[in-house]
Amino acid sequence: MYQSTDSLAPQLLAGNRRALARTISLVEDGGPEARALLAALYPHTGRGQVVGITGAPGTGKSTLVNALTKTYRDQGRTVGIIAVDPTSPFSGGALLGDRVRMRDLAGDPGVFIRSMATRGSLGGLARATADVIAVLDAAGFDRILVETVGVGQAEVDIAGAAHTTIVVEAPGLGDEVQAIKAGVLEIADLFAVNKADREGADHTVMALQMMQGLAPARAGHHGAARSAAQHAEAGGQPDGAWLPPIIKTVAVRGEGVASLRDWIEIHAAHLVTTGQREERDFSRAAATLSHILRDELMAALLARLPAGHLEEVAAAVARHLADPYTAAEQMLAAFLEQATGGWSEPSRLSDRSDSLKPQNVDV
Amino acid sequence: MYQSTDSLAPQLLAGNRRALARTISLVEDGGPEARALLAALYPHTGRGQVVGITGAPGTGKSTLVNALTKTYRDQGRTVGIIAVDPTSPFSGGALLGDRVRMRDLAGDPGVFIRSMATRGSLGGLARATADVIAVLDAAGFDRILVETVGVGQAEVDIAGAAHTTIVVEAPGLGDEVQAIKAGVLEIADLFAVNKADREGADHTVMALQMMQGLAPARAGHHGAARSAAQHAEAGGQPDGAWLPPIIKTVAVRGEGVASLRDWIEIHAAHLVTTGQREERDFSRAAATLSHILRDELMAALLARLPAGHLEEVAAAVARHLADPYTAAEQMLAAFLEQATGGWSEPSRLSDRSDSLKPQNVDV
């Protein structure tokens, strides 16, 4: 049906779901075709609000994403969902989450769900996730929910692509589990204590408050029972700092989910008011540019090396006949001397970005 | 005392501990000085055996590393320990582990301990860890133990630097915790079920055996009670495959630790016999080369761009005035056209690696 990728972007922008699915697959695989597609779609991005949802298995994260999606649908908003499982191809967590969602959200044309598992490096996954977010954004989804498991560096990297990051906790997962999750303070804009009808929910809230009090980057903490309205009245902190509120939810019954949704909006408004939205957009753009440049530079180097040369050098390094630093320097010197032939594939220069071309390059 | 870094390498090789500590700090910080040092030390590496130890908090991993170190010391072997905590600067896990170790191992000149916390990207941490391993290897440590928390992509990347990777489990951490750890099957060469005197140890062993049975990459499983001697008699699997044995330990009392140490040796011998040691050394060298090349290419690009140009382009991308793919392509084209001036810093070519210089570079 889609013989040419040239027609994919217009079809996707016209709302064709099969074109959307095919585009995501191409973008996940990477390569020049994917880059051309992303370049065509990029002018249509920037309208979707990206919400990251992360938490350990057992916190009911998938159910919460499901419930949150329903409250957005009640408001008439469309939702794209990306379920990322960076830890393992074996855990099946993403698939299970999908099955739950499929049952509730199947057939709703305002919802699109995509699962992504780790392929190769973590950096690759973070980049692929950012690219799929851009595709869903271009396709016109009002809210894009990115669900990840755990709170390792994978989540920190992927959180960089979200406007608002929600960390989901639940009572009764044990103090040792809480300990490993201390890193969440770095990425959490909101905390959801899900399964809040269970014993120990208040203990979990208190543990989070204590962590907030102990963290060097945050001063003080606030009550868990504070409502969205109260927080809005308080007008935020004098220095524009944001203390991540802790919201109790019972996702299976939809309790607290509308409140969580409202908090997402409050946080989004806070980002705009304080100029942090602009900062985050800039950081994200710089990171994306840097990723692309690194990949493309390496590809250009490999294209100019004789076939098998990198393997030959690696074998010499492995046998301790060469040190990797000197070997890399020699490869680079040869590459830069030979690079005079210019870029090996034709540039796709767009008129509106011509002004970006560097005029005074220091050599 | 160390005004020049030129004298650091000889002093380190002569066994000077302060030179070792200073070298590690320099190497962690990166930069040209670090690369020169690593290039000087590289010919002296390749003798130390690198053992990765990973597991969730609460498994008694640090205590096990401590006990393992003592059994190596009993054999007269020297041990370098690197404690890596990629999850968070807040958890304090590495520091706690150090305190335990300091108490037991303080003042032993045959042991050197270093903690590393995440700085910047995960890729950066993996590379810094690999570099510190090389430094300890050059310093002559017989065994280098690398302790990491969790089993995310960080551990997968760091495991790439180890000859043998031990995954530590413990009873009673809950099935949900086990679920997230399914990814361990990809990296485990040995399983240690620590705290094996606790209730549920057999259940943990069985859960691991079940996971091994379910994993697509591994066929069948073997009994937990099988001894090292029995395994050695069995002569391994006919196809040279390695089924990670499951060893029960009680690290606080040193029980099972000598057995674990023997299994490390068996695994090391297995790697050599099957040619996998050579394969792993090659993969590691290729990954190191690739990391260095990517960093150096990006540094060369940035050095040739006008000051602030990357930020300017990122700002345009953030405001959706340019797409990052086209913008990156233009920057690369300009870089490659301008790169004719040659490599900007003098090459440090060593005589013995001159033969590695590419002779027939395809342009």
Confidence class for position A124, pLDDT limits 50, 70, 90: low
Least confident of A328-342, A344-358, B68-82, B308-322: A344-358
Least confident of A141-155, A320-334, B118-132, B283-297: B118-132
Report the percentage of chain B scoring pLDDT > 70: 70
CB contacts, 8 Å: A353 with chain B: 316, 321-323, 326-327, 330
Is residue B197 within 8 A of residue B227, CB to CB? The reply is no
C-beta atoms surrounding B273 within 10 Å: 11
- Give the per-residue pLDDT at B30: 81
- DSSP 3-state of B116: strand
Confidence class for position A68, pLDDT limits 50, 70, 90: very high
Cβ distance of B322 and A353 shorter than 8 Å: yes
- Give the per-residue pLDDT at B143: 97
Distance from the A155 Cα atom to the nearest Cα atom in chain B, whole angstroms: 10
Distance CA B232, CA B144 (A): 24
The nearest alpha carbon in chain B to A91 belongs to B182
Domain residue extents for chain A: 8-44, 45-273, 281-341
Instruction: Say if residue A120's pLDDT is above 70.
Output: no
Confidence class for position A317, pLDDT limits 50, 70, 90: very high
Distance from the A39 Cα atom to the nearest Cα atom in chain B, whole angstroms: 6
Cβ distance of B152 and A154 shorter than 8 Å: yes
CB contacts, 8 Å: B89 with chain A: 183
Is residue B329 within 8 A of residue A347, CB to CB? The reply is yes
CB contacts, 8 Å: A90 with chain B: 182-183, 185-186, 211, 214-215
Is residue B227 within 8 A of residue B256, CB to CB? The reply is no
Cβ distance of A87 and B182 shorter than 8 Å: yes
Expressed in angstroms, the distance from the first to the final Cα of chain B is: 49
CB contacts, 8 Å: A171 with chain B: none
- Give the per-residue pLDDT at B150: 61
Nearest CB to B285 within list A36, A281, A324: A324
- Give the per-residue pLDDT at B225: 37
Confidence class for position A60, pLDDT limits 50, 70, 90: confident
Confidence class for position B111, pLDDT limits 50, 70, 90: very high
- Give the per-residue pLDDT at A111: 93
Which residues lie closer than 8 Å to B342 by C-beta, 6 or more apart?
Answer: A333, A336, A337
CB contacts, 8 Å: B88 with chain A: 151, 180, 182-183, 186
Instruction: Say if residue B98's pLDDT is above 60.
Output: no
Is residue A198 within 8 A of residue A249, CB to CB? The reply is no
Summarize pLDDT for B329-344 with one digit per residue, the tens.
999 988 887 664 433 3
Cα dihedral angle (A170, A173, A174, A180), rounded to 10 degrees? -80
The nearest alpha carbon in chain A to B215 belongs to A90
Cβ distance of B326 and A306 shorter than 8 Å: no
| Unique residue bearing structure tokens 């170190």 | B69
Summarize pLDDT for A273-309 with one digit per residue, the tens.
999 999 888 988 888 898 889 888 998 998 888 889 9
Confidence class for position B237, pLDDT limits 50, 70, 90: very low
Q: How many CB pairs under 8 A join A and B?
A: 354
Please provide the CATH number assigned to the domain covering A45-273. Answer: 3.40.50.300
Instruction: Say if residue B266's pLDDT is above 70.
Output: yes
- DSSP 3-state of B271: helix
CB contacts, 8 Å: A322 with chain B: 350, 352-353, 356
Surface-to-core class of residue A232, CB atoms within 10 Å of its CB (0-12 exposed, 13-18 middle, 19+ buried): middle
| Unique residue bearing structure tokens 């920037």 | A46
Summarize pLDDT for B149-172 with one digit per residue, the tens.
765 556 666 677 889 999 898 887
Report the percentage of chain A scoring pLDDT > 90: 39
Distance from the B145 Cα atom to the nearest Cα atom in chain A, whole angstroms: 20
Cβ distance of A362 and B304 shorter than 8 Å: yes
Average pLDDT over residues A259-278: 95
Instruction: Say if residue A248's pLDDT is above 80.
Output: yes
Please give the mean pLDDT across all residues of chain A.
77
Average pLDDT over residues A78-104: 61
Instruction: Say if residue A237's pLDDT is above 50.
Output: no
C-beta atoms surrounding B301 within 10 Å: 22
Confidence class for position B174, pLDDT limits 50, 70, 90: low
Summarize pLDDT for A216-228 with one digit per residue, the tens.
443 333 333 344 4
Higher pLDDT, A126 or A330: A330
Average pLDDT over residues B225-247: 61
Assigned token pair, B50: 């690198």
Instruction: Say if residue B224's pLDDT is above 50.
Output: no
C-beta contacts of A292-298 below 8 A and 24+ residues apart: A292/A35, A292/B324, A292/B325, A292/B328, A293/B298, A293/B301, A293/B328, A293/B331, A293/B332, A294/B294, A294/B297, A294/B298, A296/B328, A296/B329, A296/B332, A297/B294, A297/B297, A297/B298, A297/B301, A297/B332, A298/B290, A298/B293, A298/B294, A298/B297
Distance from the A277 Cα atom to the nearest Cα atom in chain B, whole angstroms: 10
Q: Give helix A122-138 / helix B122-138 axis angle, nearest 10°.
A: 170
Nearest CB to A292 within list B122, B215, B328: B328
Distance CA A18, CA A24 (A): 10
Confidence class for position B146, pLDDT limits 50, 70, 90: very high
Distance from the A49 Cα atom to the nearest Cα atom in chain B, whole angstroms: 14
Assigned token pair, B308: 């602030």
Higher pLDDT, A156 or B66: B66
Distance CA B207, CA B213 (A): 10
DSSP category for residue B59: S
Average pLDDT over residues A40-52: 92
Cβ distance of A326 and B350 shorter than 8 Å: yes
- Give the per-residue pLDDT at A18: 92
Distance CA A253, CA B123 (A): 41
- Look at residues A266, A261, A273, A262 and name the one whose alpha carbon lies nearest to residue A243: A266
- DSSP 3-state of A109: coil
Please give the mean pLDDT across all residues of chain B.
77
Mutate to test the interface with B, among A47, A137, A176 (most CBs of B within 10 A): A176
Least confident of A12-16, A187-191, A351-355, B29-33: A351-355
Instruction: Say if residue A350's pLDDT is above 50.
Output: no
Average pLDDT over residues A151-160: 64
Find residue B55's DSSP bridge partners.
B149, B168
- Residue B313's H or E segment, with its range, is helix B309-318
Instruction: Say if residue B231's pLDDT is above 80.
Output: no
- Give the per-residue pLDDT at A344: 36
Distance from the B71 Cα atom to the nearest Cα atom in chain A, whole angstroms: 28
